[in-house]
Each structure stands twice: as structure tokens, then as C-alpha cells.
Structure 1
Amino acid sequence: MKAKAWITAFRLRTLPLALASIGMGSFLAASEGNFQAGIFLFCALTTILLQILSNLANDYGDTINGADSEDRKGPQRMVQTGQITLAAMRKAMAIFIVLTLASGIYLLYLAFGIEWEAFLFFFGLGLLSILAALAYTAGRKPYGYMGLGDISVLIFFGLVGVLGSYYLYAQQLKLYLLLPAMSCGLFSVAVLNVNNIRDIDSDKKAGKYSIPVRVGREKAVIYHWFLILTGIVAAVVYTILNFETYWQLLFLLVTPLLIKNGLAVASKKESHELDPFLKQMAISTLLFVCLFGIGLLI
């Protein structure tokens, strides 16, 4: 029973979304002949560990701040239900901080060796990522409760995830890579937006002022369409700027899934009806990245 509780707390269904950004960075690097298997493996491992840490911190933080009350419509957290104690969760968070740092340090060694300037810069980014994971719902002033979760997801699941992983391979950056990075970031924010629309009533009671709580459901749906459509447009513009073959448009095959998600968010009013579309948006994002990458490599 305890093992099942921990697996639930890890929230494994969030991992495909976490891998999307480093997948995009890896595909972009591979299209230029800069892919390295070791870097990819430890980049993926570090990302998975960081995402699990974020999920544990979210379980812990939402419980102590009251967001995971009996009013919550989404899947309940393990601390809130009493299946994992606060002390055990704090210990698990400490373990995953250590594991994330260990994996991340070895990743940076693989990428940069003893080139200390780049090593220390990315180590600083890693520490910021860990702090962002912890401070989202935990701590005295969790920024997720102030409506800043969206910008954090855009930065870490988009810009830092894509551009950072690309740099580990290529050790250079190009301005137009901001476009696929923005696509990943915007689709990731859309996943969070589905979650926040689903939880709008319980979040309001708990004092968690997400974007949907602040602007209301109707405007949150408009915002959702903006995220989806802008993400598609950014990918199309990148492809036009770097066009070589029509295979590069392969990612457009995921458009019907993204449109389906937008229509569901607009039409389904009950929280339990929205929950499957959180997972659907996350999988659609990963599929978008895979098709985008395959189009670059063919």
C-alpha cells in the first residue's frame, strides 16, 4: 500500500510533458549533427528526477496551504489523504534534491568537462530549477498561489528546457530557436491551464489565485486558445524560416488533437470531465515534439 502511495505521489503521468522540452532541444541538436547519447540519457534522468521532486513538493505544499482539501475535484494528494506523513514527504523531497543534483552535475561534466564557466552557469540554472520546483506551492509565499505558475512553466518547460538542453550538445545558441522553445513552453502552460480551470472553485476557496481564478472561466478559455494557437504559429514560423522539405510540417498532424483539447476546455463545465484532457494535452505536447523532431531528421 505504501509503495502504491509513493507511486501516486510521483504522478508519473506528468513525466511525458517534462521530457518534451529536452526532447525538442535534443532533436534540434541532432538535426545539426550534435547529438550525444550520454548527454541525452542524463538530461532525461535529471529532468525526470526534477519533475518528481516538483510533484512531491506540490503534494506537500498544497496540503499545508489548504488547496488539497475535500473540495478539490482532481486526484487527491497523498499527504492530504494521510497515506504519506509530512515528515516522510520532507525526507523524500530531500532525497530527490540530492539525486537531482548528482545527476545534473554528472550531466554537466559530460557536456563541459572542466570548462568551469559554462559548468557553473548551468549549475546555477539547475539550482534555480530546484528552487522553482520547491517554491511553487511550498514555502511561506508560494508563487503558484499568486498566479505566477504560468510564467514559470513557460520559462522552465520552454526556454530553459529547450535552449538549455540544446546548448549542452551544441554549446552555442541561435536566436530563431526561441520559436520551438516557445511552442513547447506555451503547450506546457496549456496543460497547467487545464489543471487550473478544473480546480478553479477549490483554488478560489484555498486562496490560490491562478490565472483562471483571477480572470474567470470564460476568459481562461480564451487564454487557452491563445496558448494553443500561438504555439502552433511559432512552430510554423520556425519551419518557414528554416524550410528545406515538406516533412518539416509533419508536426501539423497533431493540430486536430490540440483543437480537440481547446474545444473540450470550452465545452466541458464539470471538473471530472476536464481531468482526462489534462493528460491528453500533455501527451499531445510530447507527440508534437516527436513529430517536429522526426520532420527535422528525415
Structure 2
Amino acid sequence: MKKWIQAFRLRTLPLSLSCILMGNFLAAWVGRFDCWVGSLTILTTVFLQILSNLANDYGDSIHGADSDHREGPSRAVQTGSITLVQMRKAIYLFAGLSLLSGILLIWIVFQDQIVIALSFLALGLMAIYAAITYTAGNNPYGYVGLGDISVFIFFGLVGVVGSYYMQTKSFNSIILLPAISSGFLATGVLNVNNIRDIESDIKAGKRSIPVRIGRKAAVAYHTILIIGAIITALLFTGLTFTSWAQFLFLLITPLLLKNVVAVRSKTNAMELDPYLKQLAISTLLFVLLFGLGLNLT
């Protein structure tokens, strides 16, 4: 089990859960929260994140991004602890679990609204497809620098707005601000990963954003993402202000800025690697304090 738990990359789960928690906090803020719906949303997201991690392990191994040149943590297929055949079976398993969990969630929420149910089913299938084809398949979009856009959409807009809509069956344009904030932070985590792997990605032909624009510009891009996340959260708070408790999320600002400084100063891949986890956990804490402050009003 140990090799599979390592392949699941549990340290990425706080990041994937952040956008779902943000959507549920916003739903609770308007007085519309169902515990069962929230729990199923989280379960589906966990399955999707594990699916994405397994597919990434598989895809990077067959395309050469996970090789002896890579300086980050070793991967299961790369080291041979899990074979390609075993990894393919695991990918099929978690794709199926994601689909079953998503269908159950959609049925519970939208069983009397067929058109909306089918729309969310299509969105779920897109999420499964995006999780698998990021680095796997014949034309992985992560290898041409489109990973950032996908992460921003699914870990920001879709994750927050979708989970909010699941709870409320309504849409409020103001929630786009915290959705953008979540998307920026999630994209920041991917950017740290890609900055760390610049050298090995160049050798593997993986054209991530940092590979395309260079490390210096990628660091500036990272700064924009983190500062942008703080600003959009502040804009939402200013527009909905009722209590100073809503500014609780600012307590995490020093951790976010520490990440920016680390990305700028640490050029060694192994030194930079811990700041992936640091930013993922900081993002989760940011969302938890944001939601707590919002619902204390």
C-alpha cells in the first residue's frame, strides 16, 4: 500500500479541496448548505485529484519528463515500484470512481432538472478527461503550456462556482472574485512545480510556461498570481463587508509572501520543492480563514 499512497501524492489534496471548500463556504454564507452534498462534492474531488496524479505519473514517465534528470521527488513508474500496466488499471479505477461519485452527486442535487443534470455530467466528463490528458495521451496539453489555464479553470472557476451552484442552485456574479482568487493560488502551485522542473522539462520537450518565458519572467508571473489572489479576495470582502472578521484570511498573507520570496531566491530544485507543499497548505489555510470570517458575520 505504501507505494500506492506515495503515488496518490496526498500532499496535493489540500489544494484540490480548497476550491470546493471555498464554494461551500460561500453557499453557507447565503444560508444554503447541505452536508451530504458537500461531502459528496469533496469525495468526487478527491477521486479526481488522485486520478490526475496517477495519470501525471504515467504520462510523464512515458514522455520522458520523469527521468534521471528530474530533481523533484521520484515517481512510482519512473522508479519501477509500479508498472505501466498497474498504473493504467489504477487510472481506469479512479476514473470510474470519479464518474460514479459524480453521477450520484448530480442525481441527488438535480434529479428533477434533467438539462442541468446533463450539463453537470458533461462538465464532470470534461474534468475526468482533463485530469487524464494533462500529461498522458498522444497530445498532452501540459506539454504545450496549457496546464495553467486548465488549473485556473477547474481549481478556480469550475471548482468554486460549481460547488456553490450544487448547494444553492443559483449563481451570483460576486462569487467570481473568490473563485478567481482560488484559481490564482492553485495556478501558483503549478507554477512552483514547473519552475522547479525547468531543466528536466527542457530535456523532455515539455513546454511549460516557465520553460517558454524563462525563470525570471516565471518568478514575476508567480508574484502576480499570489498578489492577484490577495487583491481579488480583498475586493470581494470590500464589496460584501459587514464585519472585520472577514479579513481573517489576511493572517495567511505572510506565508504567501514567504513563498514568493522563496521562489525568487531559491534556484536549486530540491530547495524549492518544499514550497510546493507550503503553498498548497497556505492556500487551504487561506480558504479556511476566508470561509470562517465570512460566516462569522
TM-score of Structure 1 vs Structure 2, range by shorter chain = over 0.9
Matched residue, 1:245: 243
Contact 1:20–1:184 at 8 Å: present in 2 too? Answer: yes
1:128 Cα deviation from its structure 2 partner:
0.2
Residue 230 of structure 1, CA deviation: 0.5
Percent of counterpart pairs with the same letter?
59
1:163-210 CA-partner distances (Å, limit 9, x unpaired): 000000011111111100000000000000100000000001000011
Q: 1:38–1:110: 8 Å Cα contact kept in structure 2?
A: no
Quick one: which amino acid aligns to residue 289 of structure 1? V
| Partner Cα separation in structure 2 for residue 30 and residue 294 of structure 1 | 10
Map of 2:185 onto structure 1: 187
Query: Pick from 23, 28, 31: which aligns with 1:30?
Result: 28
Q: Give the distance between the partners of 2:78 and 2:227, measured in 1 at CA.
A: 36
Partner of 1:58: 56
1:293 alignment partner, one of 285, 291, 294 = 291
1:109, distance to aligned residue in structure 2 (A): 1.5
Check if 1:270 corresponds to 2:245: no
Q: CA deviation at 1:263?
A: 0.2
Identify unmatched segments of 5+ residues in structure 2: none
Partner of residue 235 from structure 1, selected from 225, 233, 236: 233
Alpha-carbon offset, residue 131 of structure 1: 0.3
Matched, 1:91 2:69: no
Paired residues, what number? 296
Q: Residue 39 of structure 1 aligns to which amino acid in structure 2?
A: V
Name the CA distance, whole Å, in 2 between partners of 1:57 and 1:114: 34
- Counterpart mapping for 1:110-189 below 5 A: 110-189=108-187
What secondary structure is seen at the aligned counterpart in 2 of 1:80? helix
Supply the AA of the counterpart residue of 1:150. D
Question: Does the aligned pair in 2 maintain the 1:9–1:59 contact within 8 Å?
Answer: yes
- SS state of the match for residue 119, structure 1? helix
CA distance, structure 1, for counterparts of residue 67 and residue 216 of structure 2: 25
TM-score by length of 1: 0.99
Q: What amino acid sits opposite 2:235 in the alignment?
A: V
Please name the residue that 2:280 is paired with. 282
Match of 1:261 among 231, 237, 259: 259
For residue 110 of structure 1, report the CA deviation from its aligned partner. 1.7
SS of equivalent to 2:79: coil
Contact 1:50/1:130 (<8 A) preserved: yes
Shift of 1:68: 0.1
Q: CA deviation digits over 1:145-168, x for unaligned, max 9?
A: 000000000000000000000000
Match of 1:220 in 2: 218
Deviation for aligned residue 1:113: 2.1
1:114 to partner: Cα distance:
3.0
Task: State the TM-score, normalizing by the size of structure 2.
Answer: 0.99
* Distance of 1:290 and 1:274 partners within structure 2: 25
Question: How much has 1:76 moved relative to structure 2?
Answer: 1.2
